[in-house]
Amino acid sequence: MNDFFINYPLNSLGDNLTNQTLKNSDPFYFHKSLDEYNESPLNELPGLSNFFNISNLYVKDESTRFGLNAFKVLGASYAVNQILLNKPNVSVFCTATDGNHGRALAWSAEKYKKKCVVFVPKDTSDLRINTISNHGAKVEKLDLNYEDTCKYASEISTKMNWELIQDTSWDDYELVPSYIMSGYLTHFIEMEDKINLLKKPDIDIIFLQCGVGSWAASCIWYYLERYGKNKPKIILVEPAQSSGVFDSFIKGERVSPDGNLNTIMAGLNCGIPSKIAWQIIKRGCDGVVKITDNEVKYAMNVFYKPLLNDSRIISGESGAAGLAGLIKCLNNMKAEDLNKHVGLNKNSRILLFNTEGDTDKDSFLNIIKKHH
Ligand SMILES: Cc1ncc(COP(=O)(O)O)c(C=O)c1O
């Protein structure tokens, strides 16, 4: 079974996907205006890049974002803000989530003193549920997978006249997800005085972990808008058991994943890719890698045990998936063609994102302890 897929991107967004899809600078100024705002750190890890025999390794660490341990709040907070500008009387926000997005929406709703109802799929841990309800949201666990939980949240929101803030899109549901994707742009804009320089980026390859693909698509959108065909190469990373983007590439159309959806990478354990995201991903990603739970556990430990003077990075199961993808490309013979395609070699400057910290602390400690 091949875990590596090569895509030949068009490297242009096309008319339908340019400016009207995502808003470029608004979200950054919105986030900066919040009391909790702090730019998330961009770490350089020379010890690890030396060990990997590559030129540079950067990790943007989102575990500190607004004290919520994950990047997702960038999307939810901006979407809630945009909706309330047009509809200030919304009384209840609703969503489906495998954890981080629900916590982010609950936090945002609490900020505006609005009610929030969050549906979670059957495998969601109590710890994740508590972090959502701690922000005053009503959380209900359904005996469904993520994709069906989304359908349920959408149907009940229509029936109850709640405002659905979902981080994935489908036919006739595109505006809110595009606000969410716009919100994600903040952390790419934050790097404009560091590696996203005006003329060309100071990085060659980015590894991005994928659930429904909204976040990866917003990254691709940003780099295509900024650099066109000179954008860095972009490789997406998915859990082998829940690889909606990989499977969609194989089938040539957007499909639900073939796998059994049994993975510890809760944030990436999603169903069919987002409609808008898939359009962007097809045009701008250079490859996809599937990883196993064991591979991500190893990557969490690599982040946790720094080499030389590198910083320690606390990275959860979904947070470390990008690193796991990089390690797999460096160590697996079958990655040779993909590595050639993206030019992964000793001169490469790589960017990763730690998209979450130890969002499930029990599970994190278990994974770190077992490897000690
Ligand atoms: C920690 C983490 N990383 C990455 C992602 C992937 O984002 P998306 O579902 O937009 O692909 C998620 C999604 O919830 C997440 O929680």
How many Cβ atoms are within 10 Å of 221's Cβ, its own excluded? 27
| Cβ proximity of 368 and 300 under 8 Å | yes
Q: Which atom of ligand 1 is nearest to the CA of 218?
A: 10
Q: How far apart are CA 133 and CA 110, in angstroms?
A: 11
Q: Which atom of ligand 1 is nearest to the CA of 98?
A: 14
Q: Which atom of ligand 1 is nearest to the CA of 184?
A: 10
Measure CA 176 to chain center: 17
Question: Candidates 72, 124, 168, 272: which one to mutate for ligand 1, based on the most atoms within 8 Å of Cβ?
Answer: 72
Question: What torsion do the CA atoms of 208, 65, 21, 240 make, to the nearest 10 degrees?
Answer: 30
306 CA → ligand 1 middle, Å: 24
Q: Whose CA is nearest to atom 9 of ligand 1?
A: 211
Q: Whose CA is nearest to atom 16 of ligand 1?
A: 267
- Directed axis angle between helix 275-284 and helix 244-251, to 10°? 70
- What's the topology of domain 4-71+181-371? Rossmann fold (3.40.50)
CATH 3.30.830.10 for domain 73-166, yes or no, is no
Question: Candidates 215, 221, 222, 235: which one to mutate for ligand 1, based on the most atoms within 8 Å of Cβ?
Answer: 215
Question: What average pLDDT values come out for the chain (372 residues) when binned by 10 residues?
Answer: 94 77 84 96 98 98 96 98 96 96 98 97 94 97 96 98 98 96 96 96 98 98 95 98 98 96 96 96 98 98 97 98 98 98 98 97 93 62
Pocket of ligand 1 (CB under 6 A): 70, 72, 100-101, 167, 209-216, 267-268, 270, 318-319, 355-356
Is 72 one of the annotated active-site residues of the chain?
Answer: yes
Closest of 345, 317, 347, 357 to residue 131, by C-alpha: 357
The residue behind tokens 């990008």 is 322
Strands 349-354 and 92-96, sheet pairing: unpaired
211 CA → ligand 1 middle, Å: 5
Q: Where in the chain is the domain with CATH 3.40.50.1100?
A: 4-71+181-371, 73-166
Closest of 78, 83, 128 to residue 108, by C-alpha: 78
pLDDT at 325: 98
The dihedral through the CA atoms of 50, 318, 284, 179 has a sign that is negative
| Cβ proximity of 77 and 98 under 8 Å | no
Q: Report residue 64 as tokens.
A: 């500190």
- Of 3, 98, 310, 358, catalytic: 98
Q: What SS3 state is found at 56?
A: strand
Beta strands in the chain (DSSP E): 4-6, 42-44, 56-61, 92-96, 115-120, 138-141, 163-164, 205-209, 233-239, 287-291, 349-354
Q: Whose CA is nearest to atom 12 of ligand 1?
A: 267
308 CA → ligand 1 middle, Å: 30
Q: Whose CA is nearest to atom 15 of ligand 1?
A: 267
Q: Which atom of ligand 1 is nearest to the CA of 97?
A: 14
193 CA → ligand 1 middle, Å: 25
pLDDT at 19: 60
pLDDT at 372: 58
Is 98 one of the annotated active-site residues of the chain?
Answer: yes
208 CA → ligand 1 middle, Å: 9
Residue type at 2 in one-letter notation: N
Half-sphere exposure of 208 (CA within 13 A, CB side): 27
- Of 72, 231, 275, 290, catalytic: 72
pLDDT at 1: 67
220 CA → ligand 1 middle, Å: 15
* C-alpha gyration radius of the chain: 19
319 CA → ligand 1 middle, Å: 8
